[in-house]
Structure 1
Amino acid sequence: MKQSKTIFKTLKFVYCSSKRTVILIAIFTFLLGLIVPINTYIWSKFINVLFSSYESNVIPKLVFVLILIWCLWIVQMILQKANKYLKDMLTDHLNLKITESILNKQNGMTMSQFDNPKIYNKINKINTEGLSRSISVTNNLILLLQNIVSFIGTAVILVTYNPILLILLCFVFIPILAIDIKISTGLYEIYNERIEKLRLVTCLKDLMLRYENIKEIKIYNMGSFLLNRITDTYKKYLNQDKVIRKCNMKKQIWGEIGEYISKFCFTLYVIIDGITKQKDIGTIILYINTIDILMQNIGDIEFVLSEMYDDNLYMESVFDFLEEPMQHREGKKKLENINSIELKDIYFKYPNTEKYILENINLKLYKEKSYLLVGENGAGKTTLVKILCGLYEPTSGEIYINGENIKKYDLESYRKRIGVVFQDFIHFPLSVEDNIKLGNIDDYENDDSFNKMAELVGVDDIVNKLPEGYKTQLQNEWMDGTELSIGQWQKIAIARGLFSNGSVLIMDEPTASLDSLAENEIFQCIKTTLNKQISIIISHRYSMAQIVDKIIVISNNTIAEEGQFTELIRKGGKFYKYYSVQADRYKKGKYDE
């Protein structure tokens, strides 16, 4: 039942990718299937005419039949070429459809769904098998239709001779189909068992080929270790596959031996029966060819069904992923601006874990105010930012925007009001201009804002040294690509965050990869933008502590203290300890010089 549902879903999916192409393929395939029995029947007539050459006017009859056969050849050739063209076009349409469906689905999923390793296993199956299996299902459906049409047309000929033979022919292939289905099921179970380890191997291969990783791999001589890890996995599975394939091969050989024995018996029966009943030579050849074609049709149908069963096992993963619940929030209210954010009794733990990362968070943030989030590694600072960005919903507690519950607002309009510079920001393999303007797709053509932000952060100094200016392709992995330093990438990421022109600007370790001079430039840049929106900075460098309006200290997964710089220093609590340790280190460095 599940298999038939998957076949129907696949058919619908393929049909929706290009309706016109699918309909034309179905028509041409039907005609190709019809040509086979017609051609077989005409050839039998040709042989009968040939063996009656003693009759008068036999030459015109032979020529007429040959012209018919020639016409069939031409029609068959044209249909085959047209079908190949259409199948190639359908493959392209299908590739587009799968890519579009998967990426749209991915865009609509929540961050919490991506914390589940099973999602990555599904994505890996789709990436490695999705397109090829969809195409395989399509090709098999075409082959199935062609063989069914051919089978029906040819079966009509055999039924007029001996209907029992037709029934026996069909029964011969039932054991072969059962063997193939059992083999397919076993192979799919093995694939599922290996999927995570194979995904790790693929990840390691990609990691070894990334430009930014090559230097570290060479310095630490990791190449041989990683290569051995990859090849050991492949060799282990290679040895297992050798045993499995030998076993499957033996089963298939015995099944096909039974098929050939049956074919021999049926052919012998037709010859003996034809001679006994003194049938025309053309008629005997017609029935022999009919049995041969029917066995080929049934064999192809059996093969197609077993292949479709195999393909459907993999296609289930595609549809399981596409049927994952989409991100949904009831709120429809559009958000034009964010003047205040309040977090009330917020608790949070990641999916499938028991430990709370944030506990009892109560916080109010206001427009034209700046905040510095500090705390030890793993205290929950970045998690808090992710919740503020709407990437995660709190496990419990409420968030209020401008005094109203965030659930009343449309999530997309809320996110548009936020600009973020993550610590692990994306290095897009695009131009400098694209890397910055992707911060605000809706305002992509606003060159004035773009130029202002690029100049403010100091990106223009970087660009002046690049061959194509802002149009320069970044990353060495591409033709005419240019690689930037980590600090230069950091400036581009900050410019992207500023270009978003959001009501909230969040920067996670914005100067982590910058030298002292560049850090000072960014420091001055941030200083000029702090009071234009709600500004939140996460940093282990406390040089900004004296210019923000409030410092928030996260410790043991909750807010340990908050206040202005002088207030927290005077208090002598957590922040005083952090600041003193860093200040002493700088003083010691000065003294040592």
Structure 2
Amino acid sequence: MTAPAEPLEGESSSLFQRTLGVFRYSRRALALVWSTAPGLAIVLGVATIVAGVLPAAAAWVGQLIVDAVVAAIETREAGGDWDYRPALQWVALEGVIMIGIAGAQRTISACQSLLRALLGQRVNVMILDKAGTLSLSQFEDSELYDKLTRARREASQRPLGLVNKTFGLIQNGISLISFAAILFQFSPWAMLILFVGALPVFLSEAKFSGDAFRLFRWRSPETRMQMYLETVLAREDSVKEVKLFGLGPLLLERYRDIFRRLYREDRALTLRRDGWGFVLGIIGSLTFYGAYAWVVVAAVAGRITLGQMTMYVMVFRQGQSAVSAMLTAISGMYEDNLYLSNLYEYLEQPTATDGGWRSEGVVPGDGVRFEQVGFQYPGAPRPALHDVSFHLRPGQSLALVGANGSGKTTLIKLLTRLYVPSSGRILLDGSPLEEWSIDRLRARIGVIFQDFMRYQMQVGENVGAGDVAAFEDAQRWQRAAHLGQADGFIEALPEGYHTQLGRWFRDGQELSGGQWQKVALARAFMREEADILVLDEPTAAMDAQAEADIFQRFQEYARERMTIIISHRFSTVRIADHILVMDGGTVIEAGTHDDLMARDGRYAHLFRLQARGYQ
């Protein structure tokens, strides 16, 4: 398996364009750091300048120390009145400078550590906040999931990495300018030697950074599969089946197989990268020692003093390090920019705007109307719904019956505007759903889906999740739990409504399937102002007595409301005022229970088939 050879869109193969591309996201990363912690950014900038200037000053003072020592020795040997104090004064000054360098480096390190925590949190919040604006259909798009995976894996650390390299580039640039002022006194060619020595390694790093990014980007689906296998093998909601069916070794081997493939690719890239880095690094070493020899020859020839020789050698060594660090920083910035493209590509993912403004319809009390509604999932070969029409008025109940995959749950997702119809229209109180404010629309709907969430939170919070406005309202919890018939077992838990649920956290209590379903049903009852209640298989995990009790309460509660019930239990379905029988995304029968039984069609066949099971 090899990564695709062609460059990504917008990625140039020319060095000039790559260098320009380095700064594509640098400005945005710097702005992100500034908006996150301006005080720390200022301190980091000042410390960077200090750390950039002081090394040249230390080299210059080092020359003065050596020359002062040589002068004192020559004076003593000539029998003159020699004095060691000037040399000690320069030593003291160099000590102060080195303390300043150490302080600046410590300050830079501390700022980077604090910014890493603040910026990592900021970027993760941006990623999660963006997730809240995506539509359900976007979440079901595997390509977008790849973008989300790439953003979460790398992008949270890359902005700070890019900023650190930017400040490092500035620091080394300042150092290099001060070194250049010293080296120019020796020879104008000295700076050119420094750049030539460091350039090959820079070209190698830039090339392999691009290769690493393409590899990372290309194999996002496999990385996501690894994460999924980890979840299946280590989550309590899946471990029962994994153990029962003996899936552990099979899935673990699949996990290992993916790792082996990814590792082979990483190993090949690492060996190429480090091998070429070593070979090309030899050029830099030869360049330095050539310059070293040049300085030594100049000192032996008497063109420079011993102190100047010491200074030039030190400046050459530090200058080469500065040039190498600058070019490495530019290469790293290029790499960080590539990874930051994942973050901003995800954050700039287009999202549909709400666009609605209505808080009430043009015909109050008209209820819900589906008019020839159709819907087809992106990439699906056929529509999930086709030509569905019905009218549900306040005080009426509607039951949806049909085999799995007949479109029942899709219909509910259209009603709640999780999806937008491909054809036809849906009206609420005489106004199209797209004209309704999304918050106002969903405030009118209480829903329990068949695949409801089991939040690893307190029992009361699990109930309160049904209405965020009353998330911590204990009285509302109790009323909703009573309607969902969950109050009995909740009050028997160790800490009542404040009992932690699930096994992820300490002292968490696990519930049975039927108890969880009652909690989810109570969640739907939290929206006391909702006049549309949607129950998708609300009692599938409950016993017959619990089901009968719940629907008795439900009928009383829903007397003035519109209710939609999805169920395979005909004892539940027959209480509805109107029944739609669905098959293949279309309505094949409609009417009351008595009408459909008299018609002796699909509904009557299914009803009698189920009834025989109780005889």
Both proteins in one fold, TM over 0.5: yes
CA distance in 2, matches of 1:116, 1:489: 29
1:341/1:399 contact within 8 Å kept: yes
1:503 aligns with one of 520, 531, 551: 531
One-letter amino acid of the counterpart of residue 212, structure 1? D
2:602 aligns with one of 548, 570, 574: 574
Q: Identity across aligned pairs (percent)?
A: 26
Instruction: Indicate the larger mover: 50-59 or 138-147.
Output: 50-59
Aligned counterparts, 1:306-345, within 5 A: 306-335=331-360, 340-345=367-372
Match of 1:259 in 2: 284
One-letter amino acid of the counterpart of residue 603, structure 2? F
One-letter amino acid of the counterpart of residue 284, structure 1? M
One-letter amino acid of the counterpart of residue 56, structure 2? P
CA distance in 1, matches of 2:394, 2:68: 97
One-letter amino acid of the counterpart of residue 68, structure 2? V
2:464/2:471 contact within 8 Å kept: yes
1:297 aligns with one of 322, 334, 348: 322
Match of 1:590 in 2: none
Alignment partner of 2:565: what SS?
strand
Structure 1's 374 and 22: CA in aligned 2 closer, same or farther, altered over 3 A?
Answer: same
RMSD (Å), alpha carbons: 1.8
1:484 aligns with 2:503: no
2:368/2:391 contact within 8 Å kept: yes
Match of 1:560 in 2: 588
Instruction: Indicate the larger mover: 394-403 or 313-322.
Output: 394-403
Alignment partner of 1:183: what SS?
helix
Match of 2:452 in 1: 425
Alignment partner of 1:311: what SS?
helix
The alpha carbon displacement at 1:113 in A equals: 1.2
**Alpha-carbon displacement from aligned partner over 1:316-338 (angstroms, at most 9, x marks no partner):** 01100000112313222335987
1:52/1:58 contact within 8 Å kept: no
Structure 1's 132 and 222: CA in aligned 2 closer, same or farther, altered over 3 A?
Answer: same
Aligned counterparts, 1:279-428, within 5 A: 279-335=304-360, 340-428=367-455
The alpha carbon displacement at 1:66 in A equals: 2.2
1:122/1:321 contact within 8 Å kept: yes
CA distance in 1, matches of 2:233, 2:287: 55
One-letter amino acid of the counterpart of residue 467, structure 1? P
1:49/1:58 contact within 8 Å kept: no
The alpha carbon displacement at 1:436 in A equals: 0.8
2:31 aligns with one of 5, 12, 19: 12
CA distance in 1, matches of 2:234, 2:365: 43
Alignment partner of 2:146: what SS?
helix
The alpha carbon displacement at 1:379 in A equals: 0.6
1:487/1:514 contact within 8 Å kept: yes
2:127/2:152 contact within 8 Å kept: no
Structure 1's 2 and 418: CA in aligned 2 closer, same or farther, altered over 3 A?
Answer: farther
Match of 1:150 in 2: 175
Using the size of structure 2 for normalisation, the TM-score is: 0.92
CA distance in 2, matches of 1:363, 1:57: 110
Structure 1's 102 and 84: CA in aligned 2 closer, same or farther, altered over 3 A?
Answer: same
CA distance in 2, matches of 1:288, 1:566: 101
1:335/1:414 contact within 8 Å kept: no
The alpha carbon displacement at 1:57 in A equals: 6.4
Alignment partner of 2:132: what SS?
helix
1:546 aligns with 2:565: no
Alignment partner of 1:52: what SS?
helix
1:132 aligns with 2:157: yes
Using the size of structure 1 for normalisation, the TM-score is: 0.95
The alpha carbon displacement at 1:393 in A equals: 0.5
1:370/1:531 contact within 8 Å kept: no
CA distance in 1, matches of 2:291, 2:102: 31
CA distance in 1, matches of 2:345, 2:268: 31
The alpha carbon displacement at 1:135 in A equals: 3.1
Structure 1's 535 and 423: CA in aligned 2 closer, same or farther, altered over 3 A?
Answer: same
One-letter amino acid of the counterpart of residue 290, structure 1? V
CA distance in 2, matches of 1:339, 1:67: 90
Structure 1's 167 and 473: CA in aligned 2 closer, same or farther, altered over 3 A?
Answer: same
2:366/2:429 contact within 8 Å kept: yes
Alignment partner of 2:542: what SS?
coil
Match of 1:192 in 2: 217
Match of 1:175 in 2: 200
1:459 aligns with 2:515: no
The alpha carbon displacement at 1:276 in A equals: 1.9
2:484/2:525 contact within 8 Å kept: no
Alignment partner of 1:160: what SS?
helix
1:47 aligns with 2:61: no
The alpha carbon displacement at 1:226 in A equals: 0.7
CA distance in 1, matches of 2:178, 2:546: 79
1:468 aligns with 2:468: no
Match of 2:543 in 1: 515
**Alpha-carbon displacement from aligned partner over 1:17-66 (angstroms, at most 9, x marks no partner):** 22222222111111111111111111111111111114556332223222
CA distance in 1, matches of 2:599, 2:316: 97
The alpha carbon displacement at 1:422 in A equals: 0.8
CA distance in 2, matches of 1:237, 1:251: 21
Structure 1's 570 and 276: CA in aligned 2 closer, same or farther, altered over 3 A?
Answer: same
Instruction: Indicate the larger mover: 208-217 or 289-298.
Output: 208-217
Structure 1's 335 and 90: CA in aligned 2 closer, same or farther, altered over 3 A?
Answer: farther
Match of 2:137 in 1: 112
Alignment partner of 2:311: what SS?
helix
**Alpha-carbon displacement from aligned partner over 1:266-325 (angstroms, at most 9, x marks no partner):** 111121123224321111111111111110011111212222222221110110000011
Match of 1:59 in 2: 84
Alignment partner of 2:383: what SS?
coil
1:421/1:508 contact within 8 Å kept: yes
**Alpha-carbon displacement from aligned partner over 1:462-518 (angstroms, at most 9, x marks no partner):** 223322111111111211111111111111111111102222111111111122233
The alpha carbon displacement at 1:383 in A equals: 0.6
Match of 2:8 in 1: none
CA distance in 1, matches of 2:189, 2:441: 72
One-letter amino acid of the counterpart of residue 218, structure 1? K
1:527 aligns with 2:555: yes
CA distance in 2, matches of 1:384, 1:378: 11
The alpha carbon displacement at 1:437 in A equals: 0.6
1:368/1:532 contact within 8 Å kept: yes
Match of 2:235 in 1: 210
Instruction: Indicate the larger mover: 82-91 or 364-373.
Output: 82-91
1:334/1:410 contact within 8 Å kept: yes
**Number of equivalent positions:** 587
Structure 1's 18 and 352: CA in aligned 2 closer, same or farther, altered over 3 A?
Answer: farther
The alpha carbon displacement at 1:14 in A equals: 2.5
1:372/1:538 contact within 8 Å kept: yes
1:162 aligns with 2:190: no
One-letter amino acid of the counterpart of residue 495, structure 1? A
CA distance in 1, matches of 2:268, 2:365: 64
1:376/1:555 contact within 8 Å kept: yes
The alpha carbon displacement at 1:521 in A equals: 2.9
